[in-house]
Structure 1
């Protein structure tokens, strides 16, 4: 299948590692002109070199802290100036800390709001003029399977990831007539540093080994294992591609069948 991404300008936020990096790699494999962003310049440069080497495509980088409104605006503008256009936006941000309602004060709520929901709003706002200018754009918001089912001990993520899907659904209606398709791709247990960190904390609180906790978690997944970043990224690339011409406003859960909701 031709995904229609050859020569398209793609911006991927929080792409120095994890799901963002995997998504950027898959876009580059499809021949897109990819810009990756992250606040960690050293990791960003390393990701660029690895993607360049794996694909033969030269990836651009831009340093970006998604908590900073000015940096978001400048990063998108810089991408458009370099490439002459923007066709695809992938929003992404590191997950907020785990914990329950009793653990969180206003400071944690505010930080999670800015990092995980407001950053998505700001990235889309900055990108929309360029996407509309093409009369055909794609936006993919990376969230979490908690958009369908809350995850115990992750109250901040549960609340603000759900907000991302509400934003996705609303904007799909507002901008569909302008040729912009927007969807959410939501990971379940995908083997990333984030999952390893959360598993370590849970194992410690339950006084069991990480291996035992992961075995218990994998037993709840119909496919019996965690997914890989590459498996997740392929879904991001399809929804962000121009082979996708009629799916918008949706949340795709990439979780090996864990969520039971219809």
Structure 2
């Protein structure tokens, strides 16, 4: 299937590792030009070199703290300078700290809000003028916690649901501009974030990491963790021109872990 991504310009947020990097890689494979961004310039340079070795779409990067409005504005301006436009936005952010309700001060709640919800709002606001010119695609990465709250993750459980509400509203408001907006909610995907959470859960429950892994996998009908590549393929379809009628949806990439209807 031709996804129609050749020469499209994608801004991929939090793309120096994990799920963001995997999505960037799949986009480049399909011939899209990608602007990478994260806080770590060293990691971005490494990813740029790796993706350029595929000899497909063009790759650039710009370091950015997505909790700062000025950084976001500079990121979008740099993307315009390098590629001249933005057709696609992949919103993504590192997960907030794990812990229960009583663990967190107002300061931590505010930080999680700014990173995991307000950053999405601000980035969309800056990119919308581009997307309105010829239509476009937005995918906002959330978590299966939007369907079933996860233990020890009160911050994520709270703010990820805001992403769904935002996305559903924007799908309606932006449909006349031919901008499709969707959420992709990963389950347990093999990333550094998953390793961190499993270690935290093991400590909280006085178990070994191996025991936490075993219990987690037992709850996944497919019997294993997902890979970043599997996740990325689903995201890239929604970001592509092959997707012409899916908007306002939340796609769970979780191996069947969510049991709710």
Q: TM (normalized to structure 2)?
A: 0.98
Q: What is the deviation of 1:126?
A: 0.4
Q: Deviations over 1:180-204 (max 9, x none)?
A: 0000011000000000011011112
- 1:94 positional shift: 0.3
Runs of at least 5 residues in structure 1 that lack an aligned partner in the other structure:
none
Cα distance in structure 1, aligned partners of 2:57 and 2:235: 19
Deviates more, 1:117-126 or 1:209-218: 209-218
Map 1:134-149 onto structure 2 (within 5 A). 134=134, 136-149=135-148
Structure 2, unmatched stretches of 5+, are: none
**In the TM superposition, what whole-angstrom CA distance separates every residue of 1:3-26 from its partner, at most 9, and x where no partner exists?**
110000001000000000000000
- Aligned partner of 1:257 in structure 2 is 256
Once the 2 structures are TM-superposed, how far is the Cα of residue 143 of structure 1 from its aligned partner? Answer: 0.9
CA contact (8 A) 2:32 2:58 kept: no
Residue pairs, 1:103-122, within 5 angstroms: 103-122=103-122
Q: Which moved more, 1:4-13 or 1:50-59?
A: 50-59
Specify the alignment match of 1:245 in structure 2. 244
Corresponding residue SS for 1:63: coil
* Matched residue, 1:192: 191
Q: Give the aligned partner of residue 7 of structure 1.
A: 7
Question: Residues 41 and 63 of structure 2 are in contact (CA less than 8 Å); yes or no, is this contact kept in structure 1?
Answer: yes
Shift of 1:58: 3.3
- Partner residue of 1:50? 50
Instruction: Tell me which moved more, 107-116 or 206-215.
Output: 206-215
Q: Deviations over 1:49-80 (max 9, x none)?
A: 11112354431001111111110111012102
Q: Report matched runs for 1:80-91 at 5 Å.
A: 80-91=80-91
Q: Secondary structure at the match of 1:169?
A: helix
Match of 1:62 in 2: 62
Secondary structure in 1 aligned to 2:62? strand
Aligned to 1:95: 95
Query: Matched residues in 2 for 1:113 and 1:206: separation?
Result: 27
Whole-angstrom CA distance in 2 between matches of 1:30 and 1:173: 28
* RMSD value, Cα: 0.9
Q: After superposition, where does 1:172-211 map in structure 2 within 5 Å?
A: 172-211=171-210
Equivalent position SS for 1:212: helix
SS of structure 2 residue aligned to 1:54: coil
For 2:27 and 2:58, how far apart are their aligned partners in 1?
A: 12
- CA distance 1:224–1:28, shift in 2 (3 Å): same
Could you list the per-position Cα deviations for residues 120-179 of structure 1 after superposition, in whole angstroms to 9, with x for gaps in the alignment? 000100000011012x10001011111111111100001100000100000000000111
TM-score normalised by structure 1 residue count: 0.98
